[in-house]
Structure 1
Amino acid sequence: MVNSSLPSSHSVSRLQAAAQAGEFLITAEVMPPKGGDPAHMLDMGTQLRDWVHAVNVTDSSRAVLRMSSLAASVLLQQNGIEPVFQLACRDRNRIGLQADLMGAQALGLRNVLALTGDPVVAGDHKDAKPVFDLESVRLLRLINKLNRGLDFNDNPLPDCPTSLFPGAAIDPQSPSWSGLQKRFERKLEAGAQFFQSQLICDFDRLEKFMDQIAAGCNKPVLAGIFLLKSAKNAQFINKNVPGVQISQQVIDRLAAAENPLEEGVAIAAEQVTMARQLCQGVHLMAVKREDLIPQILQKAGFSTLQSQTVPASAQRVIQTQQ
């Protein structure tokens, strides 16, 4: 018996509808549990529900074991929280990737972020066997095929095509400008419908990316905003996250603050405001403190989604892209 509570096979997600309407997009990130109890994840998702268009569910980020992103996404959706199902190529071959994508479709998931995946050696199971049968660009092409009713080998899907809304990750702070441009164009050509960036700390670089690479692509770009909890946290990121260099000015500001976490919230809000002038959305990352994301958005001048309008700055970006 078909579950009538599931979205129809051709339904459009809230994120997709907002992107197509030219709204300023807001997404946030949650980690699935490391175990079988999703209560904390669901609590964080519930606190975000009225503030974001969708919640990204990481797929064993940094190759650290977590609950299946597919299962966690379904749990969030069952609780009224729209997910972005992250799917990494690290742990699955093309059969497994297609199986999960068709399963996501059947379970009512629509938003998918196609990722290559972090290397196994970075995680907590260093002896695991990495797969990497595909990488993110080929995964995007695969999703595009499934949406057209074909499998990887161009055989027709007899039981209906998918209607997935695929996105891709970008890193405007990549040291290779030509490599960044080539990668972005390949993902665009492969069918990416939205882009979420890695942590942004150089907003001049983001502006250059928007002006010289993303201009005219007519796909929303969401700037990655990370909640820094302390000077030590910022220094750890500088040491361990390639391509990220948080300025000494920000580190000194956190170190001098009476309440570093509160100062981190203020810094994140300022960065949201800067991103609002440059691109069509933000992707917020507040590891283990997702409950502070509404506060960040409030400080940046946002209210809940029901009462938001498209800011003039976002309108200018949209008109330029169109």
Structure 2
Amino acid sequence: MTLSNGSYTASSLLRSAIATNQFVITAEVMPPKGGNPSHMIDMAKTLQGRVHGVNITDGSRAVLRMSSLASAVLLKQAGIEPICQMTCRDRNRIALQADLMGANALGIHNVLALTGDPVKAGDHPKARSVFDLESVRLLRTIGVLNQGIDLNDKPLPDGPLDIFAGAAIDPQCKSWSGLTKRFERKVEAGAQFFQSQLISDFDCLEKFMTEVATPAQKPILAGIFLLKSAKNAAFLNRNVPGVHIPDDIINRLAKAESPLQEGIAIAAEQIKLAQTLCQGVHIMAIRREDLIPEILDRAGIAPVYGKQVANNGANKMVPSHQDLAMV
């Protein structure tokens, strides 16, 4: 597909699903802490056919891990559509623009623009933060690069980019006015989709959708977290700002014969709730990404496409019933 400015638009499962108002499923995978990406790739492969895109975190919680861009390229080579998270904490505007150009050239077109967690929260507290830009200005940067212009208002002689930009949102933010203004600024700056933080209060999500998000007509993907035990839930309450897992959920996990299976059931129930409120979900199952297909099955979510088979060295999708209905 060719844009009006002459640039090429890459084929994208995520972009197509959003454009056709499908219920969008994304999931999150962490890059390796070291040089061997095999576990990351194995976990991501369990999601093939079940999600529209796989997020690769970029120094989440300011903890050192492999480059999100390099990891995204590895997933793309394995036949998985990546969403490359890009934070402003560690790069100035020159480096951010350079990485966006590199991502575009390497076929990485989905980018989630983030400000980034403070370095003191991570494993290198003596590192120096950059924060030359923040998420809204990064979204605007993507917008001008897509128009073939850099941040100095100079034309890009080698062509515009084609980056599909997303942003983060927290519908449970205590400051309603702050939440509304931040969302509106991100929409104005060019965000095409939003992935939320972990949702535990679906009344808050409903209020956000009704009063703020729906009029903007941008897809919101509710953050669904796999809770593995009552201890895991209590840890999140203590250590993750803005997260409050209700006592009734913690009690369910504590009383369960198999806390992990109860966590899967809770996540599936939350996906069903999200289906009535927004256009998708973003699933986080840290270190147990292989359980996401089971969660989706229990929520009654059909595969987004059939199995992939080799076709002369290329990936070819075998349509599912859902795909055939759309042909």
TM-score interval w.r.t. the shorter chain? Answer: over 0.9
Which moves more between the two structures, 65-74 or 10-19?
10-19
Is residue 31 from structure 1 mapped to residue 27 from structure 2 by the alignment? no
Kindly indicate whether the alpha-carbon contact (under 8 Å) linking 1:195 and 1:219 is maintained by their aligned counterparts in 2: yes
The answer to whether the aligner puts 1:279 opposite 2:278 as a matched pair is yes
- Counterpart of 1:104 in structure 2: which amino acid? A
Where in structure 1 do 4 or more consecutive aligned residues deviate above 6 Å?
none
Query: Does 1:235 pair with 2:234?
Result: yes
Question: Equivalent residue for 2:84?
Answer: 85
* Partner of residue 106, structure 1: 105
Q: Residue by residue, what CA displacement relative to the aligned partner does 1:186-239 show, whole Å, maximum 9, x if unpaired?
A: 000000000000000000000000000001212110000000000000001011
1:244 Cα deviation from its structure 2 partner: 1.3
CA distance in 1 between partners of 2:24 and 2:302 (Å)? 13
Given residue 219 of structure 2, which amino acid in structure 1 is its aligned partner?
Answer: P
Give distance in 2, aligned partners of 1:54 and 1:295: 17
Aligned partners of 1:225 and 1:284 also within 8 Å: yes
Q: Measure how far apart 1:9 and its partner are.
A: 3.8
126-135 or 236-245, larger mean C-alpha shift? 236-245
- What is the alpha-carbon distance in structure 1 between the residues aligned to residue 17 and residue 301 of structure 2? 16
Compute the displacement of 1:17 (Å): 1.1
What letter corresponds to residue 83 of structure 2 in structure 1?
Answer: V
Matched-pair identity in %? 67
| Aligned equivalent of 1:197 | 196
What is aligned with 2:312?
none
How do residues 138-177 of structure 1 correspond to structure 2 at under 5 angstroms?
A: 138-177=137-176
Change (3 A) 1:204 1:32: same
Q: Which one-letter code corresponds to 1:224 in the other structure?
A: G
User: Residues of 2 paired with 1:236 and 1:223: CA distance?
Assistant: 21
Please give the alpha-carbon distance, in whole angstroms, between the structure 2 residues aligned to 1:191 and 1:12: 20
Cross-structure match for 1:19: 18
- Secondary structure of 1:275's aligned partner: helix
Q: What letter is aligned with 1:177? A: W
CA drift of 1:12 comes to 3.6
Measure the CA separation in 1 of the matches of 2:292 and 2:97.
33
Q: Which residue does the alignment assign to 2:62? A: 63
Q: Residue 287 of structure 2 aligns with which residue? A: 288
Contact 1:12 1:110 in 2 (8 A): no
Quote the residue 1:3 is aligned against.
none
RMSD: 1.1
Match of 1:128? 127
Per-residue CA deviation, residues 154-179 of structure 1 (Å, 9 max, x unaligned), is 11000010011000000000000000
Partner SS, residue 157 of structure 1: coil
Equivalent position of 1:315 in the other structure = none
Q: CA deviation at 1:95?
A: 0.3
Q: How does 1:212-251 map to 2 (within 5 A)?
A: 212-251=211-250
**Could you tell me which residue of structure 2 aligns to residue 49 of structure 1?**
48
Give the distance between the partners of 1:99 and 1:138, measured in 2 at CA: 15
1:264-275 map, 5 Å:
264-275=263-274
3-state DSSP of counterpart to 1:209: helix
Displacement after TM superposition at 1:309 (Å): 5.0
**What CA distance in whole angstroms lies between the structure 1 residues aligned with 2:264 and 2:291?**
8
Describe the SS at the equivalent of 1:143. helix
| Aligned 8 A contact 1:9 1:105 in 2 | no
Distance 2:169 2:9 in 1: 28
- TM-score, normalisation: structure 1: 0.93
Rounded to whole Å, the distance in 1 between the matches of 2:106 and 2:249 is 43
CA contact (8 A) 1:9 1:106 kept: no
Summarize the Cα distance change of 1:308–1:147 in structure 2 as closer, same or farther, 3 Å threshold.
Answer: farther
**1:229/1:261 contact within 8 Å kept:** yes
Match of 1:187 in 2: 186
- CA–CA distance in structure 2, aligned partners of residues 309 and 243 of structure 1: 37
- Normalised by the length of structure 2, the TM-score is 0.91
Question: C-alpha displacement at 1:29, in angstroms?
Answer: 0.0
The one-letter code of the counterpart of 1:247 is P
| 8 Å Cα contact 1:302-1:308 kept in structure 2 | no
Tell me if the contact between 1:223 and 1:282 (Cα under 8 Å) persists in the aligned partners.
Answer: yes
Structure 1, unpaired ranges of 5+? 1-7, 311-322
Contact kept? 1:194, 1:219, Cα under 8 Å: yes
